[in-house]
Amino acid sequence: MDKDLKLAVLIDGDNIPSAYVKEMMEEIAKYGNPTIKRIYGDWTKPTLSKWKNLLLENAITPIQQYGYTTGKNATDSAMIIDAMDILYSEKVNGFCLVSSDSDFTRLATRLREAGMHVIGIGEKKTPEPFIVACDRFIYIEILRNRSKESESESNTAPDKTEKKSGVDKITPKVIRLISKTISDLADDDGWAFLGDVGSLLQKKQPNFDSRNYGFEKLTPLIDSIGKYEIDLRESHRGKFKLIYVRNKKK
């Protein structure tokens, strides 16, 4: 988390479920300080009534946008115009675009061209162009699973044998991506610092997240695959361990 990163959080109210807004805001806080929080939609519609109390609880400002024409999404246009106004105001150095709509692909690209750090949040149905246009993309389904786990822990002891819903399978494609990334960063002995591996994975694939595969951190994900060696090393200050990984020799 970059504590100095000031974020403008812009939410497409027509395109995002309201149920996990609290978890979403907690996730955003990991990456910076959300100084601007706005949600866009036609608040005269009963379909958006669920947002009312949530907006008050999370200090999100609702922006009214009437649907002027049938079949056209005026909310998208309002959100894009506001984003550009905020960009030129120079009050933030990052944006969080919350939507599953590919119409924001060009906006994300333009913001990054201007030097902004762009985080996307949306459902797994989000089209690939919008995902890759962001620096990082987080699936709402991850936050949904974590919310259910918290409820389970507060009520009863969780069943460790129960499979988490919505967890992606670790495919050969994912394994190749990790192996290639380790090779890209490896020293002469094949070792790569795990922090660098995680950063490069994020650059190569913005929606890469160990939580997609049921692991809170990258280390247990890599360890579960069984194709990598893990080495814990003392840091110079000796207060914590440095984790290095390398591909196992065939």
Helix 218-225 and helix 194-204, axial crossing angle in degrees, nearest 10: 90
Sign of dihedral through CA atoms 146, 152, 158, 160? negative
pLDDT at 71 over 50: no
- Does residue 51 sit in the same domain as residue 117? yes
Distance, in Å, from the CA atom of 150 to the CA atom of 158, rounded to the nearest integer, reads: 9
CATH code: domain of residue 69: 3.40.50.1010
Q: What total of structural domains would you count in the chain? A: 2
Q: What are phi and psi of 232, to 5 degrees?
A: -95, 125
The DSSP annotation for 75-136 comes to HHHHHHHHHHHHHHHT--SEEEEE---GGGHHHHHHHHHTT-EEEEEE-TTS-HHHHHHSSE
Looking at 31-35, 54-58, 116-120, 135-139, which range is the least confident one? 54-58
- Is residue 157 domain-resident? no
- Is residue 78 domain-resident? yes
- Does residue 45 sit in the same domain as residue 107? yes
- Is residue 160 domain-resident? no
Q: Last residue of a domain, which of 130, 147, 164?
A: 147
Per-residue model confidence as pLDDT tens digits over 119-174: 999 999 999 999 999 999 999 988 876 655 555 444 554 444 344 556 788 999 99
Distance, in Å, from the CA atom of 99 to the CA atom of 17, rounded to the nearest integer, reads: 10
- Does residue 33 sit in the same domain as residue 116? yes
Sign of dihedral through CA atoms 2, 8, 13, 18? positive
- Does residue 137 sit in the same domain as residue 208? no
- Is residue 159 domain-resident? no
Residue with more model confidence, 102 or 70: 102
- Does residue 130 sit in the same domain as residue 40? yes
Give pLDDT, residue 50: 82
Give pLDDT, residue 146: 63
pTM of the model: 0.83
| Among the listed residues 63, 61, 62, 116, the one whose alpha carbon sits nearest the alpha carbon of residue 87 | 116
- Does residue 126 sit in the same domain as residue 238? no
CATH code: domain of residue 199: 3.30.420.610
Sign of dihedral through CA atoms 182, 188, 190, 192? negative
- Is residue 165 domain-resident? no
Per-residue model confidence as pLDDT tens digits over 214-243: 999 999 999 999 999 999 988 776 677 899
Give pLDDT, residue 104: 93
Q: Quick one: average pLDDT of 104-113?
A: 96
Q: Last residue of a domain, which of 147, 163, 187?
A: 147
- Is residue 158 domain-resident? no
Check: CB of residue 95 under 8 Å from CB of residue 31: no
Q: Please give the residue range of the domain that contains residue 14.
A: 6-147
